[in-house]
Amino acid sequence: MTIDLQTLKCGECGSSVLKRTGLNEFTCQHCGSVTLVEDDISDRLDRVLDQVKDAAARRLADEQAARQKVAMRTAGFAVAAVVGITLFVMVVQMFTRKDTPDGGRRAAVASVVDRNIPTDGLKLGEPRQVLVGSGSSARPKLLVVVRNETGKPLERASVKAAFYDGETRLEERSESLPISVLEPGESAPLLFDLPSGKNVTRQELQVQRLSAPYRSADGARLAFSRLRLVQQGDRVRLVGRVVNERKDAAIGGVEALATLYDDAGNVIGFGRGYAQGNDIAPGARSAIDIDIARFGRAAQVAAWDYRIAYSTIEAGGSRTAVRSADRVIRTAGAPEVFHADLRLSTEDLLADDSERFDLKELELLPLVAGRSNIQRPLFLTELVNRSKEAVVIAPGGVISRFGGSKADGATAIQGLAYLYPGERFPILLEPRDVDRITQTRVEWKPMRRAALPGPRTPLEVQVTGTKAETGSVLLNFSQRFLYKSVQVTGKVSNPGTTIVGKVRLWVSLRDRDGQLSGFKLVDNLPAIAPGESVPFQVNVEQNGRDFASVGTLYQTE
């Protein structure tokens, strides 16, 4: 076996893929032939192989450098072209844009964004550590109030905080202000997350580079046309309605910042929210619902304010930030307080007076005493819509229970999407710490109304059979209790022309006097196609007197 040292090829197959496998031994990677050479030839072959590898590496490095140089040159040409086109368009707009004759609106300023606003013009207040949230969910944060004294509007100003434990640098975080544009003279709160599980003894704050909005114009202040600040337990919400009163342009990017203060003027909470939907057309309206993160819970809310930032949308789709010097609107006073268990939607809170349902038309029937299947006392009642012409939308409230003068908790009325005139919604009240409920008080939520025929898809519910039964239950493996129940069968038919889904059906038992004796919700009915029916069968426990009739109430979506 020989090896050609001039061309570095295997003497057996001619392959040049050779690998050193020993001191004087080379193996062909193609055919596996092994060649033994003398020491001087081996050394020479090693040098040749090293030279080949070095030459290949240099060639690859030169090719990569050439590709990078071409890519950088191409990117530079592209950036220069974009900058040139942008400057040309800006110059044309500055010379051709004119005020609209009907609105007296000033021309929008479109110029290169000023990145040279001195950062010392954004003043930082004294930082303080606060707990945001309540109970085990409370989180430590650093609160800083900043003020714009630059004399210019600032877009998305941000501050960087570096946290220390003594001289040990822990970590750093950057946060932007919770409003897109901070007007001259305005203040805004800023929250930083503190390093988790670490002792923070000091922090260093640094204002990041400041800039003005790219396109902006002076314009009218945008304010809520309808507004409520509500509190439920620890939760505080600012709910408002925004109306675009302009006739020449839509508005977009509508956001609001709400801030709470104690009686000393300290910030004790803030939050921001956005208008529902992307844009608001001329004459249209939208709503903003803001959850406010509150801290310093021992302090009561003594005052609050809000501001709204927005942009106008031109015919071509370009947006111009609207500047308003007096847009912060402050109110002295505390929020409206509602029970924490009430489900208050944005629509419920902002409904006009003409959209309100008259709460006098709702009646909670007297309590009917009964027993559970383990013979514990319970009470049944019904919510009745006494109106003859209006449907109540999403009725709800909280029933506070009392046994004599002792409070026994509360029961929430919920689960209904609407209640039609004359309909009865069954409710169960179970005493917790008293033997019997002697008194109830109801706190109703704000409710809306709808004219007949209302939102419900008509269905036909038919009860086809009832069967009285007796059951038993074993409690704690020691006590067995007997109870009565009724097996109710029937069907739900769809006489309409569209598919009806998510049907919920309440089946109620009534005694010979028409009082409620027991009820159960059936919420597993399938969708019903036009002209079809679905059967149902449900066992309803009889908590009161023996039943004499069966009633039903249904909901559709």
Mind spelling out the 3-state secondary structure of 504-547?
Answer: EEEEEEECCCCCEEEEEEECCCCCECCCCEEEEEEEEEECCCCC
| 18 strand-pairing partners | 28
Nearest to 356 by CA among 390, 399, 396: 390
pLDDT, tens only, 397-425: 999 999 999 999 999 998 899 999 999 99
Rg of the chain over all Cα atoms, to the nearest angstrom = 38
Q: What is the largest CA-CA distance in the chain?
A: 119
121 vs 184: CA distance, rounded Å: 10
Residue type, 89: V
Average pLDDT, the chain: 86
| 402 strand-pairing partners | 407, 439
Tell me if 401 sits within 8 A of 410, measured CB to CB: yes
497 vs 530: CA distance, rounded Å: 5
Q: Model-level pTM? A: 0.74
Helices (H) and strands (E) in the chain — how many of each?
A: 2, 42
What is residue 208's predicted lDDT score, i.e. its pLDDT? 95
Tell me if 503 sits within 8 A of 555, measured CB to CB: yes
Q: Is the peptide bond before 455 cis (omega within 30 degrees of 0)?
A: no
Tell me if 480 sits within 8 A of 472, measured CB to CB: yes
| Domains recognised in the chain with CATH numbers | 3-70 (2.30.30), 119-207 (2.60.40), 215-338 (2.60.40.10), 346-451 (2.60.40), 460-555 (2.60.40.10)
Q: Which residue has the tokens 């040309």?
A: 88
Would you say residue 432 has pLDDT above 70?
yes
Tell me if 417 sits within 8 A of 506, measured CB to CB: no
Would you say residue 27 has pLDDT above 70?
yes
Which residues have C-beta within 8 Å of that of residue 227, sequence separation ≥ 6? Answer: 238, 239, 240, 241, 306
Distance of CA 379 to the CA centre of its chain: 38
> Could you say which DSSP state residue 101 is in?
T
Would you say residue 152 has pLDDT above 60?
yes
pLDDT, tens only, 85-136: 555 545 445 544 434 434 334 444 444 456 679 999 999 999 999 999 877 7
What is residue 550's predicted lDDT score, i.e. its pLDDT? 97
Q: Structure tokens of 151? A: 């004399």
Tell me if 320 sits within 8 A of 276, measured CB to CB: no
Band (430; pLDDT cuts 50, 70, 90) = very high
DSSP code string of 278-340: SEE-TT-EEEEEEEEEE--TTSPP-EEEEEEEEEEE-TTS-EEEEE-TT--EEEESPPEEE-T
- With 0-12 / 13-18 / 19 or more C-beta atoms within 10 angstroms meaning exposed / middle / buried, residue 329 is middle
Distance of CA 440 to the CA centre of its chain: 36
- With 0-12 / 13-18 / 19 or more C-beta atoms within 10 angstroms meaning exposed / middle / buried, residue 100 is exposed
What is residue 116's predicted lDDT score, i.e. its pLDDT? 77
Which residues have C-beta within 8 Å of that of residue 512, sequence separation ≥ 6? Answer: 545, 548
Mean pLDDT of 269-297: 92
3-state helix, strand, coil in the chain (%, to 5): 15, 45, 40
